[in-house]
Structure 1
Amino acid sequence: MAPKDLLLALVVIVVWGLNFVVIKVGLDGMPPMLLGALRFILAAFPAILFVRRPQIPLRWLLAYGLTISLGQFAFLFSAMAVGMPAGLASLVLQSQAFFTLFFAALFLGERLRMANLLGLVVAAAGLALIGLQGERTLTIAGFALTIAAAAMWALGNVITRTLGKVDLMGLVVWGSLIPPLPFLALSWLIEGPQAIESALRGFNLEALLVLAYLAFGATLLGYGLWSRLLSRYPASQVAPFSLLVPVVGLTSSALLLDEHLNGAQLFGALLVLAGLLVNVGGAWLDRRSRARAA
C-alpha cells in the first residue's frame, strides 16, 4: 500500500475509533433516538445533492438503511445510554465479523472454514468473559444491546454482499435517507416529546460539534476514504485495518473518559482481538493458497 493510502487508512481508523467517545459525549445532552435522527439528517443533506444514487432497487436501499444505519445505531446508542462504556462498545461491536460469517452462510450459502470457527470460539470466549463482569463496569442491558447492534451491522454487510459491486459512498449517503423518520418516530414513542423539546432547547455548540463529527467525520469522511481504499486495493489488504478500531476506541476512552478495564475484561478484550486476527489472517491465508493452486 502506498504511504499516502496507508496514512488515509490510519485516518479512518482514528476517526472511527474516536467515534465512540464522541457518541458518549453526545448522549450526555441528547436522548439516543433523537441523536440518531439528527446524525443521519446531517449525513444525508446536503450530500445527496452531490453524490449519485447507487443503481440498486429501492427495496435493497431500504434494507440497507434499516439494518446497518437504523438498526445498528438504534441499538448502539441505546446500549451506551444505559451504561455500555465507549471503549468496550468499540470492541464488542466488532463481533459483527462473526455474525457476518453466520448470516452469509445462512442466507448466501458461503462456507465456514476452520480459521473462521477457531476465531469465533476464541472471540466468543472473550465476549463471554467481558459479559460476565456484569454490573462492575458495564450493564448487562448495554452489553446485550451492543451485541444486537453488531448483528444488525452484519445483516447490512450481507445485504451489501448481495448487491455485488456497488458504489459504497453512494450507498452510505442515500442509505442515510432511510433512518431519520423511523428514528424520530422511536424518539417520540420511547423518549417522549418533553425529552425531545428539552434536548433541542439545550442544543449548544458541543451538541453541534458532536453531530458534525458523527455525520461528516465518522460517516461521510470515514466511509468515503474507506471506499476509496477498497477501490484501489483488495479487500483482504484493507479489511485488517479495522482491527485497530477497538484499539483506538479503548485507548481514547481511557484517556478522555477515564474508562479502565479490570483484569478479566482486559484478558477478554485480548481474546476478542485474537479471535478477529485469526479470522482475518485465516481468510487471507486461504485466499493465498487458492490463488497459488490456480
Structure 2
Amino acid sequence: MKPADICIAVLVAMIWGLAFIASRIALDELSPELMTALRFTIAAAPCLIVPRPKVSWPVLIAISFTLFLGQFLTQAYGIAGGVPVGLTSVVVQSQALFTIGLAAILFGERPSRMQTIGIAIAAVGLLMICGTVGYDFSVSAFAVLMISPICFAVGNLLLRRAQGVPMFDLSAWLCLVAAIPLLVLTLAEDGVQPTWHALSHMSGVVLLCMLVIGGISTCTAYWLWGRLLRDYPAAQVVPFALLVPFVGSAASSIVFGETFGPLRLAGMLTVVGGIAVMLLSRRAQVLPKVVGA
C-alpha cells in the first residue's frame, strides 16, 4: 500500500474507535433510538445529490437493516445499558468470527486451519468476558450488544449482493433506508413531544458528537474504507480494523476512566488476538469488507 493510503487506513480506524466515545457522550442526552436515527439521517444527506445504486430494494433494505440499523441500534442499547465503551468496541469487532462461521454454514466456505484456530481463540476470549458480566452492567445489556456483531456479520454477507456499485452512493442510500424506520421507532417509543424536547435542548457538545458520528464516522470513513478495498486486496486493508478496539479502549480509559479487571482485560486481548489470527491468515480475502462503529 502507498504510504498515503496506509495513513488513510489508520485514520479510518482511529475515527471508528473514537466514534464509540462520541456515541457514549451523545447517549447522555439522547435515547438509543434517537441517537441512531440522527446518525443515519446526517449520513444520508448525500442522497440529495447521488443516485440510488443499481441494487434492488429488497437487497438494499436487507443490507441496511442488518449492517446499519441492527448493528448500530443494538450497540447504542448496549452502551446505554452500561456496557463500557472499550469493551463494546472489542465485542463489535468479534463480527469477524461470526462472518466466517456464517459463511461456512450458509455458503460452504470452509475456513482455513489458521482461521479455525482464530475462531477458537476469539470464542475463548468472549467466554472470558462473559465471566465478568453482571457486576458493572447487566446480562441483558450484554445480550443485546451481542446482537450487534451478528447483524454486522449477516450484513457483510448480504453486501456481496451489491458488488460493483459505487461505495459512497451505496453507503448513503443504506443510511437513508435505516433512518426512516428509526425515526418512526423513535417517535413511537419516545413520543413526539419528548423527541422534540431532546432535539431542541441538545447541547453543543452532543450536536458536535452527532455531526462527527454521522458525517465523519459513518459517511466519510465508510467511503474511504470502501475506496481502499477497491484499490487493494482485502488482506492488506482489513487488518487495520484491529486498531479500532485498541483506540476505543484507550480513549475510553482516558475520557471515562474505564478500567479493566484481569479477567476482562485478558478476555479482550484474547478476542483481539483471535481476530488477528483470522484476519492475517492466507484466506483473509473472504473476510468482511466493511467494518466500523
- TM-score calculated relative to the size of structure 1: 0.92
Q: What's the offset of the Cα at 1:110? A: 1.8
Deviation of the 1:253 alpha carbon: 0.4
SS in 1 for 2:41: helix
What runs of 5+ residues in structure 1 fail to find an aligned partner? 288-294
- Of residues 182-191 and 121-130 in structure 1, the stretch that sits farther from structure 2 once superposed is 182-191
Distance 1:10 1:286 in 2: 19
State the match for 2:8 in structure 1.
8
Match in the other structure for 1:233 = 232
Alignment of 1:42-81 (within 5 A): 42-45=42-45, 47-81=46-80
For residue 123 of structure 2, what is the aligned residue in structure 1?
124
Select between 260-269 and 156-165 the one with higher mean Cα deviation. 156-165
**Structure 2, unaligned runs of 5 or more:** 287-293
Q: Which residue of 1 aligns with 2:148?
A: 149
Q: TM-score, normalised by structure 2?
A: 0.92
Cα deviation code 1:59-116 (max 9, x no counterpart): 1111111111111111111111111111110000011111111222233332222222
Aligned partners of 2:67 and 2:155 also within 8 Å = yes
Q: What is the CA–CA distance in structure 2 between the aligned matches of 1:230 and 1:194, rounded to whole Å?
A: 43
CA–CA distance in structure 2, aligned partners of residues 178 and 170 of structure 1: 12
Output the CA distance in 2 between the equivalents of 1:137 and 1:176. 33
RMSD value over aligned CA atoms? 1.8
Amino acid paired to 2:6: L
Distance 2:171 2:163 in 1: 15
Cα deviations by residue, 1:132-166 (Å, 9 ceiling, x for unpaired): 11233333222212210111111110011233333
Larger deviation, residues 73-82 vs 48-57: 48-57
Quote the residue 2:258 is aligned against: 259
Aligned counterparts of 1:132 and 1:223: Cα–Cα separation in 2 = 34
Structure 1 residues 194 and 81, CA gap change in structure 2 (3 angstroms): farther
Structure 2 letter corresponding to 1:24: R
Q: Give the conservation status (yes or no) of the 8 Å contact 2:34–2:182.
A: yes
Alpha-carbon distance in 2 for matches of 1:68, 1:200: 26
**Range 124-133 or range 158-167, more displaced:** 158-167
Question: Any idea what SS the aligned residue of 1:282 has?
Answer: coil
Q: Report the AA paired with residue 243 of structure 1.
A: L
* Aligned partners of 2:59 and 2:161 also within 8 Å: no
Within 5 Å, which residues of 2 pair with 1:258-277? 258-277=257-276
Contact 2:234 2:284 in 1 (8 A): no
- Whether the aligned pair in 1 keeps the contact of 2:235 and 2:284 (CA below 8 Å) is no
Any conservation in 1 of the 2:126–2:271 contact (CA below 8 Å)?
yes
Q: Secondary structure at the match of 2:83?
A: coil
Contact 1:17–1:248, Cα closer than 8 Å, also in 2: yes
Distance (whole Å) between structure 2 residues aligned to residue 113 and residue 4 of structure 1: 32
Counterpart in the other structure of 2:17: 17
Query: Given that residues 61 and 175 in structure 1 are in contact (C-alpha distance below 8 angstroms), is that contact kept between their aligned partners in structure 2?
Result: yes
1:31·1:195 contact (CA, 8 Å) conserved in 2? no
